[in-house]
Structure 1
Amino acid sequence: MERTNAKLIKAFAKVLKRRRRAAGLSQEELAFRTDLSPSYISLLETANRQPTLTVLAELSDRLGVDLPELIAEITAEQNGQPPRA
Structure 2
Amino acid sequence: MTYENALKQVKNSQVFEDKTILKLANDKGWTIAHVQATWSWIINDKEILKLANKRGRTVAHVILYTTGYMFKYKKLLQILKIML
**TM above 0.5:** no
Structure scoring higher RCO (CA < 8 A, sep ≥ 6) equals: 1
TM-score normalised to structure 1 length: 0.32
TM-score normalised to structure 2 length: 0.33
More helix by share: 1
